Structure 1
Amino acid sequence: MDAADDPNASHASELAELEPRRGYLLALVVLIGALILVFMAWNGAREREFVTAQSEFVARANEITSRLEQPMIDYELVARGGASLFASVARPTAAQWQAFVESMRIQPRFPGMVGLGFAGYVPSAGLDDLQLQWRRSGYGLLEVRPHGLRPVYGPILYLAPRSEENVAAIGFDMYSESVRRAAMEAALDSGQPRLSGPVELIQDVGEQKVGMLLFLPVYEGGGVPATRLARRKAIQGWSYVPIRLEPYLEGALGSDFRQTRFRIYDSGDGVERLLFSSHLRGGKPAFVHSAALEQYGRSWRIEYESPPLAEAAPRLQTLENLLALGLFACLLLYGIALVLAHTESRAHTIAMRMTEDYRRSEQRFRVAMQYSAIGKALLGSDGAIVEANPSLGAIVGREPKDLIGERFDSLFEDDEPGLGGAGGSTDSHGVHRTTRRLHREGGMPRHAQLTYAPVPGNVGQDIVGLVQVEDVTERLRAEARVHALNRTLEARVAMRTRELSQANQELEAFAYSISHDLRAPLRAIDGFSRTLAERYESSLDDTGRGYLSRVRRAASRMGELIDALLKMSRLSRSELKLERVDLSRMAGEIVEELRMGDSPRSVETVIAPGLQVVGDAALLRNLLGNLIGNAWKFTRECADARIEFGVEEDAEGTFEFFVRDNGAGFAQKYVDKLFRPFQRLHSEGQFAGHGIGLASVKRIVERHGGMIRAEGAEGEGAAFYFTLPGEGRH
């Protein structure tokens, strides 16, 4: 009976197939439940944040509305100050009014207020008396405008501070204009200050600016009569304050004026007009709020707009991020649930794979032990051999099975301890290497290189290490032969070095003695030729005197060449005195010396600052003196001579110093002759010299461990590059 016919097996198979499906269903339920919870939490938090942002916007709008009331109260107090002046003085003069206004310093204290003025209440019959009184007071002719006959006039009589625009407003009949007249009559009848509707101030004609006027009635006696009829009889005029709307709003709101989106509508006379609209632009506002404000008989409606939702409620963006994080967490939980659904089957698969891997690993180890050409043995904790391979048996001359149980140290003739001993070396991984003398059955002792490595054994096995044994007898013998040959070679090298040193010393002594011995005949040639020229000059013809002059010049040049040879010999003999040398300062001193010796010339010199090296100061001065002196000499025929000293970094990252000029130059194919003694690429008539300077430069550079090279072109200048120890720049 097979499994297909067994009902129990069939049921178990169905359960086995159903178990993963339950895991997937559970993962789906977890995902849906987590998504529902995340969306509910996010929506609730979003609603709360929205309501909070809206409440903050409304509170801020109400605060701004309340701030708009305070400046108008200050304007009322200023107007009452003007009315009180009429209570103390029956008819103040223009000078008194001006002094009173200046004492209050209204313009810096009250932004938006143009000034403080007084408009008289003048019936038609009293206009002539007013003009006559005005002339008697020394104010000149009072021109009431606009012209025409009206029952009542309300001309501006006083307006301070005294400015050009305020002086021009004197005489304007405000009672002739309907909006102003409505506010003036309302103030007259009520005895209280009244604010006009939007008007264009006399001071702002043609400028398209919105203004207002706050009127306060002034009665005879200073008080406010009880009845309307009495107030009509006692009225003298109005103390009034002209106000520019936008500066008034900016002064009231401060920095919030430029950051708030709002509009103000005036509806004091039943018709709603737009007074002001902020200039802010933006997207669709998130919130809108309307507030009412009563301003001295005028009804203002203020509409506030918030910025777009992203700016009005910035924390909503954080909630959006939290929503994304919540969705990610839901997906993460779903992924974890899917992983758990696969865990059981994967665990079984991994266990089977690990068992097979262990079997293969054990097999590989056995093959490596059995067929390795290097002897190997597993050691127990007591140092006895647990297992040995055939190669180890061949090295010691015994069968591998005979070695099992024997102490590993007994196979060697020396007494050095094995694993963990003091001989040899041990690295950071605990691997110990040493060389010992091996006792081989039936043969001569041999040397073996041992490598001890700690290895763990299986559970229950007493194995602590693996030792590899390699016969290195022949290698050690070869090394001994090489060492003996090296010792012989060192002796021969030392002998050749002594011979070469003696030869160099002899050559230097020869050059030195030759240089000194040649001076005596040179002095004799020069002395006798000078005597011959002095005593027998009259006996010689021009040709003879020319020959004699050539002899003396040749003797002088021979002396200079001898001096150059002596200098070169000193360069090789002198001991280097190393110190830090500032090449930039040294080059500057050399250039100054050349300028002093050749003052008529104008040469542009460029010296890089801060170039320092470690070397012999005297030799380095000789080096720079030769290179810069050559550049100075070979630029003699250039109208715009230029000499540059600096440092460059080549493609390999090495710093090279250079001395570059734009003088006569040289052909690049002759560059190998430049650094040879007495080799010259120009004739003596063109450029004087001994041909020894660049050879000295090369010796100085090489004595400092550097290198020198040259680049040039005929008629285009030359450049000498050399390396020295130390930093290229400080």
Structure 2
Amino acid sequence: MSGFRAFLLTLRSGLGRLFRHLRLAGAAYGVLLISLLLAGLAWYYAWYYVRQTVEAQDQVRFDETIQATQAAVDRKTDAYLAALFGARGVFLASKAVEREEWESYVRGIETKTRLEGLQALGFARYVRPDEREAFVAEAEEGGLPEMRPDLDPGGERSAYFPLELVAPSSEANLSTINQDAYTDLAHKVAMDRARDSGSPQATKMVYVLTESPKDSSADLALSPGFAVYLPVYAEGEPVETVAGRRRALRGFVVGYFRRDGLLDDVFGSGFDPAIDFEVYDGADVESSSLLYDEDGVQRAGVQGYDPFFSEKRRIGVAGREWSLYFATLPGFKRGAESDLPSFVLASGVGVSILLFGISWMLVRSRILAVRASKDLEEANTELEGTNRELEAFSYSVSHDLRAPLRTIDGFSQILQEDYERELDDEGMDYLGRVRAASKHMATLIDDLLDLSRVGRRPLRREPVDLARLAAGIIEELRESQPGRDVEFVAGENITAWGDASLLKVALENLLGNAWKFTARRRGARIEFGADRDPGPGFLAPVYYVRDNGAGFDQAYSDKLFGAFQRLHGQDEFEGTGIGLATVARIVHRHGGRVWAEGRVGEGATFYFTLGGRDTGDRTVPAKKAEVA
């Protein structure tokens, strides 16, 4: 039972400490909770903003890439077709085009650098059935291959189109000399459309004879591609009608294009590598032949592929419709992501922790302040008790000690006056010493009480005319010793911000010391002034009291302002050693400092500064020894 009760007491004590902690630190935890909530909201809105903004920006980026790519494809196909039209111009400018002239033109259009997809540029001559035998004989006479195919399959045909000229003069291209592609349906359809329309017409996807790859053992290879036919008509023949164009036909300028390299130079440094680009020969990418793929991986129509953005566009090229397919790759989506939401979240959490730390420090400061306040209250209570004891002691000193001293002095005076005849000179000397000691003791008690009051009384600052105070004190000293001739010099407009009564006590002690220590000096001089521009390192103004009296040894200046410290014997100059200690305490209470300079037999100068309105660097200069 007792153990359970102890447990309850411990639990109650722990809960009490917890509730007190929460009461004091509740603000800090509240700031942390609110900051985390705000950070969460900021993160959500940042994520939403980034998602909307980045998606819009990337849609623009995707659309701009599509437009730029389509424009580049248009320029490229126009360049290919321009090469065919230029070749037709060669025929229009000459009745008979020689092989050297044809090869020179093809070299001029720079197929290897500007038109990489162009495998061969040739001329397919139109040979009528009645001209076939003459053409075969001419080819045999020129050492050229025979027309292929000639009569097989199908026997005699209505028209023949052997490839008469071809360039560049590579092995693959030269092997197509006198090859008649009109027997192939895909080529025949394109050639018939070109003949009847007068415009370039492309075949569907066919195979083009090319050089074999380097790692292949074959001499030649068939590569996917297409052919474009541009009709060449006889000069001066009417071509306004289909019938007229058929009668005027001389042949076709034909370009053979490989799929590989067809559009490679379309994509410069500005193309986004995170976007896939594919070209299909037809209106439907799913059922059309692939003409070009930028990265070699076909994606259009692939099941399960879900790009961030995709788009299909159609363009017309040489009578055929091509489909352009654009789709983003995974790298595009990664590039579209932003670190802003994570940054906002991390920043919010960081700021929350920072605010919590600041709040916790404030709460801790409050807790420490409460504890310090309690400690201060206890210290104040103890100090008040000490002050009361000190006041009681002061009262005791003032009353209880003074009474015996007065009794001693009184009876000593009676003995001196009434028993002067009964006492010899030695006895009278002893009584004189007793009376002098009692008076010195009374003076010492008064000085101690004054020193005690200086530290306990409140400081009441006000403007004080120190020059007027000093002049009044000197006047009182002159009245006390009218026989002395002392020159007193005081500056003008010497004011301070301090307690008038305390500053008067300080000046009374300083000027009283100067008056006392010049007693044996002829031509005694006392000066009171203020240096308002003492130079770097001084607290302005610096007040001083200077005399030309007995002075002191500078080596012992650190003892001047201590209680009961004297540098001269009682037989030289009377005093209790309390006056300068009182001066130091008054100056310190005003936030100032006091120090002295002197030489034996040459006088002394006492400097002091006061805090309050006149603040500044309170460093004492090295040339002046600070002793308090």
What residue number does 2:486 align with?
none
Residue of structure 1 in register with 2:475 after alignment: none
Q: Does 1:193 align with 2:205?
A: no
SS in 2 for 1:439: coil
2:232 alignment partner AA: V
> Alpha-carbon deviation of 1:259?
3.4
- Cα distance, 1:60 vs structure 2: 1.3
2:214 is the alignment partner of 1:211: no
2: CA distance, partners of 1:280 / 1:319: 36
3-state SS of 1:172 partner: coil
Match of 1:48 in 2: 53
Which residue of the partner structure matches residue 372 of structure 1? none
Report the equivalent of 2:292. Answer: 276
Q: CA deviation at 1:455?
A: 9.5
Equivalent residues in 2 for 1:345-494 (5 A)?
Answer: 347-353=369-375, 401=448, 404=451, 407=509, 410=513, 435-436=555-556, 439-441=567-569, 461-462=589-590, 464-465=592-593
Q: Does 1:298 align with 2:321?
A: yes
Using the TM superposition, give the Cα deviation of residue 252 of structure 1 relative to its aligned residue in structure 2, in angstroms.
2.5
**Deviation by residue 1:211-232 (Cα, 9 ceiling, x = unmatched):** 3322112233477845545544
- Following superposition, the deviation at residue 70 of structure 1 comes to 1.1
Change (3 A) 1:57 1:261: closer
**Separation in 1, partners of 2:139, 2:268:** 42
1:204 Cα shift? 3.2
Kept in 2: contact 1:180–1:196 (CA 8 A): yes
From 147, 152, 158, the counterpart of 1:149: 152
Inter-partner Cα distance in structure 2 for 1:408 and 1:207: 122
Query: In the aligned structure 2, how far is the partner of 1:157 from the partner of 1:273?
Result: 30
Deviation at 1:25, TM superposition (A): 5.7
Q: Are the counterparts in 1 of residues 25 and 360 from structure 2 also a CA contact under 8 Å?
A: no
Q: Which has the higher contact order (CA 8 A, sep 6+)?
A: 2
Structure 1 partner of 2:311: 289
Q: Higher Cα Rg: structure 1 or 2?
A: 2
1:61 aligns with 2:66: yes
**Could you tell me how far apart the structure 2 residues matched to 1:251 and 1:337 are?**
64
Aligned identity (percent) is 20
**AA paired with 2:312?**
S
Kept in 2: contact 1:169–1:203 (CA 8 A) = no
Q: Distance in 2 between matches of 1:200 and 1:416?
A: 126
Give 1:264 shift: 1.9
Partners of 1:42 and 1:106 in 2: CA distance: 52
**Amino acid across the alignment from 1:439:** L
Q: What is the correspondence of 1:548-587 to structure 2 with a 5 Å cutoff?
A: none
Residue of structure 1 equivalent to 2:255:
241
Q: Give the conservation status (yes or no) of the 8 Å contact 1:112–1:251.
A: no
Closer, same or farther: CA 116–288 of 1 in aligned 2, 3 Å: same
CA–CA distance in structure 1, aligned partners of residues 585 and 148 of structure 2: 118
- DSSP-derived class of the 1:308 partner: helix
Letter in 2 for 1:174: A
CA apart distance, 1:52: 1.4
Equivalent-residue separation in structure 1 for 2:278 and 2:268 (angstroms): 17
Encode CA deviations 1:549-580: one digit per residue, 9 max, x unaligned. xxxxxxxxxxxxxxxxxxxxxxxxxxxxxxxx
Query: How far apart are residue 307 of structure 1 and its match?
Result: 5.3
In the superposition, relative to structure 1, how do residues 245 and 272 fare at CA in structure 2: closer, same or farther (>3 Å)? same
What corresponds to 1:220 in structure 2? 234
Which of 80, 83, 86 is residue 81 of structure 1 equivalent to?
86
Residues 50 and 340 of structure 2 are in contact (CA less than 8 Å); yes or no, is this contact kept in structure 1? no
Partner of 1:632: none
Contact 2:230 2:252 in 1 (8 A): yes
- Structure 1: 5+ residue runs without aligned partners? 1-13, 365-397, 446-451, 469-730
Q: Secondary structure at the match of 1:142?
A: coil
Please give the secondary structure, in 1, of the residue aligned with 2:44: helix
**2:86 partner amino acid:** G
Other-structure match for 1:380:
none
Deviations 1:663-703 (A, max 9, x none): xxxxxxxxxxxxxxxxxxxxxxxxxxxxxxxxxxxxxxxxx
> How many angstroms apart in 1 are the aligned matches of 2:265 and 2:326?
19
> Given the alignment, which residue of 251, 254, 269 partners 1:255?
269
Please state whether the residue corresponding to 1:154 is helix, strand or coil.
Answer: coil
Question: Do the aligned partners of residues 427 and 255 (structure 1) sit closer, same or farther apart at CA in structure 2, a change above 3 Å counting?
Answer: closer
Q: Matches of 1:413 and 1:435 in 2, distance apart?
A: 19
Query: Do the aligned partners of 1:213 and 1:241 also contact (CA within 8 Å) in 2?
Result: yes
- Aligned-pair CA distance for 1:33: 4.9
Cα shift at 1:263: 3.6
C-alpha distance in 1, partners of 2:247/2:235? 12
Seen in structure 2, the aligned counterparts of structure 1 residues 223 and 216 have a Cα distance that, compared at 3 Å, is: farther
Aligned partner of residue 201 in structure 1, secondary structure: strand
- Structural mapping, 1:163-202, within 5 Å: 163-202=170-209
How far the C-alpha of 1:337 sits from its partner, in A, is: 6.3
Is this contact kept in 2: 1:189–1:232, CA < 8 A? yes
Shift of 1:301: 2.8
Q: 1:299 to 1:108 in 2, by over 3 A?
A: closer
- Deviation per CA, 1:576-604: give whole Å up to 9, x if none: xxxxxxxxxxxxxxxxxxxxxxxxxxxxx
Alignment partner of 1:267 is 2:281: yes
The answer to whether the aligner puts 1:325 opposite 2:347 as a matched pair is yes
Q: Is the 8 A contact 1:86 1:222 kept in 2?
A: no
Aligned in 2, Cα 1:334/1:37: closer, same or farther, shift over 3 Å?
farther
How far off is 1:68 after superposition? 0.4
- Alpha carbons 1:284, 1:307 under 8 Å: kept: no
> Displacement, 1:157?
0.9
Match status 1:158 vs 2:158: no
Q: 1:78 to 1:278 in 2, by over 3 A?
A: closer
| Residues 330 and 40 of structure 1, relative CA distance in 2, 3 Å threshold | farther
Return the letter of the residue paired with 1:274: L
Root mean square deviation of aligned Cα:
5.6
- CA change 1:22–1:235 in 2 (3 A) is same
Structure 1 pair 177/318, CA: closer, same or farther in 2 (3 Å)? Answer: farther
CA shift in 2, pair 1:467/1:239, >3 Å: same
Residues 48-95 of structure 1: CA deviation (Å, up to 9, x unaligned): 221211221122122111210112112222212222333344443323
Structure 1 letter corresponding to 2:448: K
Give the alignment of 1:305-344 within 5 angstroms.
305-306=328-329, 308-309=331-332, 312-313=335-336, 316-330=338-352, 332=354
Give 2:321's aligned amino acid: R
Q: Which runs of 5+ in 2 are unaligned?
A: 1-18, 213-219, 300-304, 387-443, 452-504, 519-524, 541-552, 558-565, 574-580, 597-628
Contact 1:195/1:213 (CA < 8 Å) preserved in 2? yes
Give 1:73's aligned amino acid: D
For the structure 1 residues 49 and 335, does the alpha-carbon distance in structure 2 shift closer, same or farther, using more than 3 Å as the test? farther
